[in-house]
Amino acid sequence: MGEFELIRRYFAAAACAQAAPGVALGIGDDCALLEVPAGEQLAISTDTMVAGVHFPDPSDPFLLAQRALAAAASDLAAMGATPLGFTLALTLPAAEPAWLASFARGLDCKARECGLALIGGDTTRGPLCITLSVFGRVPAGLALRRDGARPGDLVCVGGPLGDAAGALALVLGQRQAPAEIASPLLARYWSPRPQLSLGVALRGRASAALDVSDGLLADCGHIAAASGVALCIERDRVPLSAPLRRLLDAPAALACALGGGDDYVLAFTLPPRFLAALQAEWPLRVIGRVEAGSGVHLLDDAGREVEPPAGGYQHFGSPRD
């Protein structure tokens, strides 16, 4: 038995330890088998992260696994899907037990947090590269798509933006900060928490949704294009976390929030009648409105359109590139 066969058994053991409702057959056969209840659809997303492109190489394997799975699971949140399972395609230069043990622990932690069971995959030798496919279920017709935004809807986000982009200089060792600032930002970068419960709560309410991974303005542009509407974002209503505001000056923090990816916060459009009930449970922020037209428009506090701030963050991390 080769070392890579041993790795497969290692992950298989980890997978068996997880409760896995909906998983009829897990690792070990030619295919895994998932159950999808009648009246529901299966949601599927695939994300790849390449060493040196989407994360620094080397990176801590525990953190890396958490970040890769969180990024993939966030696509389930963006569709309003209930997590079922995931497959791991892991390509790595050598089978180092300590690295693998740490990677598997990180994967297991995030998988439990997200309610995702490891159901299969492949382990191969080559340059470090991680492809995760995630599977969830959603009642037919209730998936949160990008094409339903209508004029009059509110534009909302599920929490503060820009933390991951702001953290990047810390991740790369280009900047130092006291622990009370650096720690929460680094946690947002390395272990984003996919907003899975919020996604489920938005079913039947949000008219369009996605997770912010390319940057708020770019992602709002995807909704505008798919829905055939304009999204108007009020610059001063974009939420910034306290640590980000302490790390960076106001223009730089705003640039991170508007252009940085990797926060994996949900952005969505919402008919106003649903706002009160959702805000009672979730720390949503209304940041703008949907209008007739096209594109994304950034407005100042007087309602005048302004240019997005330039720069302010480095792009090294979105699995979409």
Please tell me whether 219 is known to bind a ligand: no
Question: What would the DSSP string read from start to end of 201-252?
Answer: HHTTT-SEEEE-SS-HHHHHHHHHHHHT-EEEEEGGGS---HHHHHHS-HHH
The smaller minimum CB distance to a second copy, of residues 47 and 163, is found at 47
The smaller minimum CB distance to a second copy, of residues 87 and 183, is found at 87
Give whole-number Cα distances, 77 to 37, 141, 210, 313, in Å: 19, 16, 8, 25
The smaller minimum CB distance to a second copy, of residues 76 and 167, is found at 76
Separation between Cα atoms, residue 209 and residue 152, nearest integer Å:
16
Q: How far is the CB of 2 from a second copy (least distance, A)?
A: 7
Q: How far is the CB of 57 from a second copy (least distance, A)?
A: 10
**CA within 13 Å, CB half, 114:** 36
Question: What would the DSSP string read from start to end of 268-291?
Answer: EEE-GGGHHHHHTTS--EEEEEEE
Question: What would the DSSP string read from start to end of 146-159?
Answer: SS---TTPEEEESS
Please tell me whether 29 is known to bind a ligand: no
Q: Which residues bind a second copy (CB under 8 A)?
A: 2, 4, 24-25, 28-36, 38, 41-54, 75-76, 78-79, 81, 87-89, 91, 119-122, 124-127, 129, 131, 133, 135-136, 138, 140, 143-146, 209-211, 226, 319-321
Please tell me whether 121 is known to bind a ligand: yes
The smaller minimum CB distance to a second copy, of residues 8 and 188, is found at 8
Q: How far is the CB of 106 from a second copy (least distance, A)?
A: 19
Please tell me whether 222 is known to bind a ligand: no
The dihedrals phi and psi of 257, each to the nearest 5 degrees, come to -70, -35
Angle (CA) 95-99-102 rounded to 5° is 135
The smaller minimum CB distance to a second copy, of residues 260 and 319, is found at 319
Q: How far is the CB of 253 from a second copy (least distance, A)?
A: 25
Tokens of 30: 């030619």
Please tell me whether 54 is known to bind a ligand: yes
Please tell me whether 294 is known to bind a ligand: no
Give binding residues as ranges.
30, 45-47, 54, 75, 121-122, 146, 211, 213-214, 262, 313
